[in-house]
Amino acid sequence: MAAVRSQDTDLYMLMDDKQLRKLATLLRNQEEPLMMSIKSEPDRIKFLTECNDVYDITVKIVDISAELRKKHEASRSVDGLKADIAVNLQEYVKYGVNMSMQCIRNCGMRLSAVEKLKAHFDDLADELNKIDSRVDSDGIQSLAQEAAFYKQAMLEYANNFQSGSARAHSREYSMTLKQEGIQFPNLVDRHKNRLGYKEEFEFLEDDQKLEVYNSIINESGRANLPKVYKRNANPGAKAGGIAVLAMSASMMAWDIFTAEHKLEAVLNSAVSVLAEIGAFAVQVAVGSAVSTAVANVATGVLLVSLAGFVAGAVAGILFAAAAGALIDLILGSGGKAAPNLDHLKFYTGTMPDGMALANELSHYG
């Protein structure tokens, strides 16, 4: 299958396995040289390990999802529904891989995303392989509906995450929030309460967090996401770990919140001041203005708001080996948790643009 372009100037959805593997290779080959700017050998090793792990997991999940489809397609005449589910799961994986490689420029965050994607796919594939549709008709129907939801939801995240046309819809919404002085945790709580959840956001299940973030996305006009699928699974079924969808939705929600703040330009200006000194410290100020980013060359410190820190990591402006885990912490708490960065050194560099690389592959292979 050839690449499918969603809209002008937007993501090119690569559906050919060879192109996906090539994109993974190009990203790794362009990211690995960045380690030369890292003077610390342990940090250099961590970064190189992440680059290789992202590549390995990405190629692995592309291959095993193709194998799952081939296996069940071969027995379509016996069980067509299982074959349809395998097709949807492969496309879900391809959309997730495109989103991870094209929309996340930070290697550590991309590693977190593909790890979650593979873990979820493994659970779903395991259930598909074990279920007997002749005995459990309700179970196979539930799994089919669930796979269709994941496929459609991931397609929406991929097409609308970094899309210029989709992001334009967020600016008016973001401006309204800016004028009201609403902080991100308040926005999350507003939607959590609307949905009737009483617990603190950080204690919600992944599917509940996904529902909250999707509510923000839909209200902003950024995308029209399907209602979160609530499965009636057997007690032993494992396929409920939709952490990759929750992560995708949360990153888009943060982008929506900061759309009117021009954070990438502010951060680029700040980190360029620190670029020549190599490693630098980052201090996250939870309550500071969203657009604040102050670089101090004398102390080698970048002071940035929590929203700015997330934006900087997503855009690949700031990177450290632990970035993926830090963003998971922030997004998992709805923006209430500020990570302790005292033990980390950060670096800046021009991270490869997966969307531009995919564009080239779609034209030239």
Q: What pLDDT does residue 6 have?
A: 43
Q: Per the confidence metrics, is the pTM higher than 0.95?
A: no
Residues 6+ apart with CB under 8 A from 158: 11, 13, 95, 96, 98, 99, 102, 103
Q: What pLDDT does residue 220 have?
A: 94
Higher pLDDT, 171 or 61: 61
Q: Which residues on adjacent β-strands are paired with residue 348?
A: 318
- Say which amino acid occupies 146: E
Tokens representing 130 are: 């074990």
Q: Where in the chain is the domain with CATH 1.20.120?
A: 7-161
Q: Cβ(295)–Cβ(274) under 8 Å?
A: yes
The beta strand positions in the chain, using DSSP E, are 4-5, 12-13, 281-285, 293-296, 301-305, 318-319, 347-348
**Tell me, which fold does domain 7-161 have in CATH?**
Four Helix Bundle (Hemerythrin (Met), subunit A) (1.20.120)
Query: Quick one: average pLDDT of 106-128?
Result: 94
Q: What pLDDT does residue 351 have?
A: 85
Q: Cβ(112)–Cβ(325) under 8 Å?
A: yes
Q: How far apart are CA 275 and CA 287, in angstroms?
A: 26
Q: Using the predicted structure, report yes or no on whether residue 1 has a pLDDT greater than 50.
A: no
